[in-house]
């Protein structure tokens, strides 16, 4: 079911990120998640390359093991509290989609444009989740930069663009401070 929003502009203006640790069930069901991913894929994509992929994580126990093993391999001196943090990361929110930037190096389309498209697909995913009545949180952090974690989902030159946690907010979402438009908008007179 879609949010009762008065217009697409209202949907865009009201989307907020949810902290993954604060997202609870219900999450998108299989049909809703498929629709969210279809909408996310309608992103700007110079050359029609689809330089990104989605991996829906169904097994959080397996993800926790991957994160802890990768962390331990890269940081053999890791303390239990650090490994527990990896376990907690894996278990946030009831639904998780890993978005991979999946560049096509053989293409004449610049790599930078392909990476921008991967970021845009993440943002479209968050907007689509919001339109379906859910909230999402886009996290990166250490797991996104670990080759061992990446290798559980893909292979170089792919990179993890983000862990997209989805669910229902357990509390009202905070409105974060937004940039002062006067500081970030300029007009070029030519």
Q: What residues make up the domain containing 124?
A: 19-58+94-170
Q: Is residue 89 part of a domain?
A: no
Q: Is residue 70 part of a domain?
A: no
Spatial distance between the Cα atoms of 64 and 83, rounded to a whole number of angstroms? 9
Tokens 């962390």 belong to residue: 71
What totals of helices (H) and strands (E) does the chain contain, helices first? Answer: 8, 5
Give the three-class secondary structure for 76: coil
As a whole number of Å, the CA-based R_g of the chain is: 18
Query: What CATH number corresponds to the domain at position 137?
Result: 3.40.109.10
Q: Is residue 1 part of a domain?
A: no
Q: What percent of the chain has pLDDT over 70?
A: 97
Q: Is residue 111 part of a domain?
A: yes
The arithmetic mean of pLDDT across residues 127-143, rounded, is 96
pLDDT digits (tens, 9 = 90+) for 94-122: 999 999 999 999 999 999 999 999 999 99
User: How would residue 5 be classed by pLDDT, with cut points 50, 70 and 90?
Assistant: low
Given a cut of 90, whether residue 37 has pLDDT beyond it is yes
pTM as predicted: 0.93
Residues contacting residue 96 through CB under 8 Å, at least 6 positions apart: 56, 57, 60, 63, 163, 164, 165, 166
The arithmetic mean of pLDDT across residues 118-145, rounded, is 97
Q: Is residue 104 part of a domain?
A: yes
Q: Is residue 181 part of a domain?
A: no
- What token pair was written down for 139? 């996290």
The arithmetic mean of pLDDT across residues 62-83, rounded, is 98
Q: Is residue 33 part of a domain?
A: yes
The arithmetic mean of pLDDT across residues 132-148, rounded, is 97
First to last CA, the chain: 47
Q: How many domains does the chain have?
A: 1
Q: Is residue 164 part of a domain?
A: yes
């Amino acid at each position: 079911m879609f949010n009762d929003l008065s217009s697409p502009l209202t949907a865009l203006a009201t989307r907020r990120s949810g902290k993954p640790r604060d997202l609870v069930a219900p999450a998108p069901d299989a049909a809703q998640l498929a629709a969210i991913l279809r909408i996310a894929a309608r992103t700007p994509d110079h050359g029609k390359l689809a330089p990104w992929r989605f991996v829906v994580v169904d097994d959080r126990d397996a993800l926790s093991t991957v994160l802890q093993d990768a962390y331990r391999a890269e940081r053999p001196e890791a303390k239990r509290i650090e490994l527990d943090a990896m376990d907690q990361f894996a278990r946030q929110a009831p639904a998780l989609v890993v978005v991979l930037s999946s560049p096509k190096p053989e293409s004449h389309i610049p790599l930078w444009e392909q990476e921008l498209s991967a970021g845009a697909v993440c943002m479209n995913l968050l907007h689509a989740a919001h339109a379906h009545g859910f909230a999402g949180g886009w996290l990166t952090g250490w797991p996104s930069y670990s080759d061992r974690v990446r290798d559980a989902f893909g292979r170089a030159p792919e990179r993890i663009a983000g862990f997209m946690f989805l669910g229902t907010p357990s509390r009202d979402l905070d409105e974060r401070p937004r940039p002062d438009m006067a500081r970030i908008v300029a007009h070029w007179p030519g």
